[in-house]
């Protein structure tokens, strides 16, 4: 702590609030391992933990202009990491429960094998349907599907409002469900294919 009563982390926060990229790098190196260990203790996945670390510092950078008002930098950083971790665990839990429900209700019948498409064929149909979307809808869908970003994070990244991103996702999912059902994909298998974007 310096003579003005400001500790090193607060000083870094103040510098970052003024756009200090070097201070941000120092903060990242100071907390990266600690945040990783904290997140890993909940996720038990190095890949997920590393991604949440990146998301934590991205959120920190996006909020940089308000960091000079933060009195407890350590608590602030860990609160962001905790919220990101809880959101991740909730999303994983929701997917797992839905997948269990889907597979528990799929009826495998030899009499309907010719009428039901397998998952790979569903995926091919889904890819075709995605190809019919506008470039903007494709981008938003991929950010949600492949990167698991929230509506708020997508909005921040592409410069749209959160409500607009949500409406686009609703329109996109409605179209994809319609496209798959048009090709006689059962409701449960449609849910299974689209599960990863819920």
CA 69, chain centre distance (Å) = 28
**Third-level CATH fold of 8-90:** Rna Polymerase Sigma Factor; Chain: A (1.10.1740)
Is this prediction's pTM over 0.85? no
User: What would the pLDDT profile of 167-198 be if each residue is shown by its tens digit?
Assistant: 898 888 888 877 877 765 554 455 544 544 43
CA angle 197, 54, 56 (to 5 degrees): 90
Residue corresponding to tokens 């979307």? 133
Give me the percent of the chain exceeding a pLDDT of 70.
73
The residues spanned by each domain of the chain are 8-90, 106-197
User: What would the pLDDT profile of 48-67 be if each residue is shown by its tens digit?
Assistant: 888 899 999 999 999 999 99
| Residue 6: predicted pLDDT | 58
- The dihedral built from the CA positions of residue 184, 187, 189 and 193, taken in this order, carries a sign that is positive
Give the whole-angstrom CA distance, residue 149 versus residue 159.
14
Residues shown for the chain: 198
Question: What separation, in Å, do the N-terminal and C-terminal C-alpha atoms of the chain show?
Answer: 46
Contacts of 150 (CB under 8 A, 6+ apart): 87
Give the whole-angstrom CA distance, residue 187 versus residue 177.
8
User: What would the pLDDT profile of 138-164 be if each residue is shown by its tens digit?
Assistant: 888 888 876 777 888 888 888 888 889
Name the pLDDT band for 96 (thresholds 50, 70, 90).
Answer: low
**Third-level CATH fold of 106-197:** Arc Repressor Mutant, subunit A (1.10.10)
């Amino acid at each position: 702590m310096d003579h003005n009563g400001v500790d090193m982390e607060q000083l870094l926060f103040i510098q970052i609030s003024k756009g200090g990229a070097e201070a941000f790098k120092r903060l990242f190196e100071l907390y990266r391992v600690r945040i990783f260990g904290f997140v890993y203790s909940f996720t038990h996945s190095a890949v997920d933990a590393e991604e949440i670390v990146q998301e934590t510092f991205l959120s920190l950078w996006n909020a940089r202009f308000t960091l000079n008002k933060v009195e407890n930098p350590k608590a602030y950083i860990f609160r962001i990491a905790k919220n990101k971790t809880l959101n991740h665990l909730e999303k994983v839990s929701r997917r797992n429960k839905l997948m269990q429900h889907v597979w528990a209700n799929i009826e495998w019948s030899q009499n309907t094998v010719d009428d039901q498409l397998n998952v790979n064929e569903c995926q091919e149909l889904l890819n075709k349907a995605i190809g019919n979307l506008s470039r903007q809808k494709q981008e938003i869908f991929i950010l949600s599907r492949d990167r698991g970003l929230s509506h708020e994070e997508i909005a921040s990244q592409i410069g749209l409002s959160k409500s607009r991103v949500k409406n686009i996702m609703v329109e996109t999912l409605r179209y994809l469900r319609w496209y798959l059902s048009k090709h006689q994909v059962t409701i449960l298998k449609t849910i299974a294919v689209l599960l990863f974007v819920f």
